[in-house]
């Protein structure tokens, strides 16, 4: 897999949140998907992960690295941001929870809980990706200097071209 990559900063997104969507659309186009339901789906998934990295970065001035590429079978993207170790562990545990327990009933209960919460953040991004789209999601922590409270967290998303086409 040959990745293309780019670095962006949460401070850019704070100034203009629509840049997350524009990046997702550009990445999707660079994978050869320009129009149609598959392009909409891939852009939606990438947008969620980019928004997630921007929202949960420990500091607005720390870089978010986005890597993406296509294979004969589909696509893969990796989004890496700096996070507090506590937040990174939460994300890892949440992805494990979602992957292991996702069901329609569980999703509906979670959606209801978030929709009736007072929080300004919906916390539905990773859950929605796992529930609604035929993609794999993995997370890992890295670059952890022991004295720092920060670490890098990388979320990798992969989709199989046939499965993506099948639902679109």
Partner 1 sequence: MLRMDDYELKVDGHTIRLSGAFRLSSLIHYDDVFAPIKDMIESSGSVRLVMADVLFLNSTGITALARLVITARALSASFTLVGHNGVPWQQKVFSSFKRLYSDLGVEFLPSQGS
Q: Residue 156 in contact with residue 135, Cβ under 8 Å?
A: no
> Residue 128's closest CA among 82, 79, 163, 95?
95
Question: Cα–chain-centroid distance for residue 98?
Answer: 14
In the complex with partner 1, the residue whose CB is nearer, 85 or 163, is: 163
- Of 69-77, 90-98, 123-131, 137-145, the segment contacting partner 1 by CB under 8 A is 123-131
Tell me the C-alpha distance between 84 and 59, whole Å.
9
Q: Is 128 in the site for partner 1 (CB under 8 A)?
A: yes
In the complex with partner 1, the residue whose CB is nearer, 86 or 108, is: 108
Determine which residue in the list 108, 142, 143, 144 makes contact with partner 1, applying CB under 8 A.
108
In the complex with partner 1, the residue whose CB is nearer, 44 or 84, is: 44
Q: Is 103 in the site for partner 1 (CB under 8 A)?
A: no
Tell me the C-alpha distance between 73 and 161, whole Å.
6
Q: Residue 142 in contact with residue 113, Cβ under 8 Å?
A: no
Residues that bind partner 1 (CB under 8 A): 13, 17-18, 20-21, 36-37, 40-41, 43-44, 47-48, 51, 55, 104, 107-108, 111-112, 114-116, 119-122, 124-125, 127-128, 131-132, 167-168
């Amino acid at each position: 897999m040959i990745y293309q990559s780019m670095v962006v900063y949460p401070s850019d997104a704070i100034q203009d949140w629509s840049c997350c969507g524009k990046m997702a659309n550009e990445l999707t186009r660079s994978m050869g998907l320009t129009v149609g339901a598959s392009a909409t789906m891939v852009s939606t998934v990438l947008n969620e992960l980019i928004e997630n990295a921007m929202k949960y970065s420990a500091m607005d001035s720390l870089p978010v690295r986005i890597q993406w590429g296509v294979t004969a079978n589909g696509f893969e993207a990796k989004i890496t941001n700096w996070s507090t170790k506590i937040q990174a562990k939460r994300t890892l545990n949440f992805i494990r929870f979602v992957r292991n327990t996702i069901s329609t009933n569980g999703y509906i209960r979670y959606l209801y809980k978030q929709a009736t919460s007072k929080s300004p953040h919906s916390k539905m991004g990773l859950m929605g990706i796992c529930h609604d789209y035929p993609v794999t999601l993995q997370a890992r922590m890295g670059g952890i200097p022991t004295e720092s409270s920060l670490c890098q967290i990388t979320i990798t998303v992969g989709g199989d071209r046939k499965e993506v086409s099948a639902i679109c």
